[in-house]
Amino acid sequence: MCGIVGIVGKKPVNQAIYDALTVLQHRGQDAAGIVTWGENGLNVRKSNGLVRDVFRTRHMLRLTGNVGMGHIRYPTAGGAQSSEAQPFYVNSPYGICLAHNGNLTNYRALADRLTREDHRHLNTSSDSEVLLNVFAHELQIRASGRPSPDQIFDAVEAVHKRCSGGYAVVAMIIGHGIVAFRDPNGIRPIVVGRRETRDGAEYMVASESVALDLLQFEKLRDIGPGEAVFIENAGVMHSREYADATSCSPCIFEFVYFARPDSIIDDLSVYKARLRMGAQLAGQIVREWPDHDIDVVIPIPDTSRTAAVPVAYHLGVKYREGFVKNRYIGRTFIMPGQAERAQSVRRKLNAIDLEFRGKNVLLVDDSIVRGTTSRQIIRMAREAGARKVYFASAAPPVRYPNVYGIDMPAASELIASGRSVEKIEELIGADRLIYQDLHGLIRAVRHDDSHITQFDTSCFSGEYVTDDVTDDYLRALEKARSDGAKSRREARYKMPDLELAEEANDPGTAVGM
């Protein structure tokens, strides 16, 4: 999962992009990048690390210009080396920078065709670079002179016909403007907003509406499935809906875990969806376990808090905060390796003994993916004196790989893959395990008046929105993206310290292109 932002402003946008990336940091902690364009030309700063670490004062001062874009990432395709930090750049036509959130399921075929037929060179194993080159190639064969909005939109439609998967994209055509578009199934989120200034209108696109809120941009709308938006440097916005049939199928895991609760995705409130997840989960507990002996409901901070409150309310038991979180430790779900995830849990959370001692505790989490965190937390609850430890997940069992940009591709690393609830209960050490059912999750996320009729639920149901996800594809993906494969890649790409890399003139940290 990644976060993207693009701004066409009337004044320097470097600080605005930086601020937007900080509120999207939850979407990726591996690398960050900003590219701006202005009178001094094109300026870029990107490297591995958190936003606050990648950008220092000296970098921000060089990121001049009223048009720019930014990206934060963790790797689902490619590796974690700084050479794959985004945005990517290609010189022809015009000069294009591109960043994207998602994953191309036909990446290998596209890469082969790009090099063999389109005669384009690829520097990395990132599908974002492939997507950039597909767009650049399609624009080059259509545009003449100054690219028109129609030529740009025709190029985007050609991208949709060649690319499969889930993707939200922001691209800067140097000297002309910002392009943003979304895959025809609307799997990955992207919104567009507008802000009026004394000098005219400014426009912004971002992965989540919370970035617009921070910078006081009014949300115009979610970019629709297959839709493209082009914002000229002069501040004029054009848009075109995708000509072919589309089916808006947003990723339901955004609402379960990834998105911030104060975001609105496809006109659906993430916060209200999580409240309803809790209510649905409580109803399921009452139906399946009417004579429960739960004394207290305790959430696993932070994303499960919103769901845990209505669970306690509807069960008629106490709600308590039983864990204190170290806010300087990253999200364990997106740690790069299993060993690091396991090690970070105890550094991340500490139990308050008096909330556990002698009680039957129901721990509520948003989901259970690999089971690492759940097992460690249940052990911590027992060590704190809990008499019994029950565990409830606000999402169904994650049994299948996600191929559209969430880093859970290897089925063998999912604790629920091929296992019964009873077996998972035994593996994580819970006295009882309760999962939300899929229909309950869908009811929780979808408002009664929502225009969304279906979601991408592939990690729960095994049903993929695109028709190119075969058993052979999943086997190849698991081989390429298991924790073991990632560890081997990381061993080959050990990077020096950020400051030392810059002193050595590492191209991954350079400013200026």
Contact between residue 351 and residue 378 where contact means Cβ atoms under 8 Å apart: no
List, in order, residues 6 or more apart from 141 with CB less than 8 Å away: none
Phi-psi region of 302 (alpha: psi -120 to 50; beta: other; left: phi over 0): alpha
Contact between residue 270 and residue 434 where contact means Cβ atoms under 8 Å apart: no
Q: What are phi and psi of 138, to 5 degrees?
A: -65, -35
Of the candidates 2, 163, 251, 459, the residue annotated as catalytic is: 2
Q: Where does residue 194 rank: exposed (0-12), middle (13-18), buried (19+ CB within 10 A)?
A: middle
Annotated active-site residue 2? The verdict is yes
Q: What H or E segment, with its residue span, contains residue 108? A: helix 107-116
The token pair that represents 320 in the structure block:
């308590």
Q: What are phi and psi of 222, to 5 degrees?
A: -75, 140
Distance CA 225, CA 453 (A): 13
Task: Give yes or no for a cis peptide into 93 (omega within 30° of 0).
Answer: yes
Strand order in the sheet with 237-240: 88-90, 96-104, 165-173, 177-182, 228-232, 237-240
Q: What H or E segment, with its residue span, contains residue 442? A: helix 438-445
Residues belonging to the active site? 2
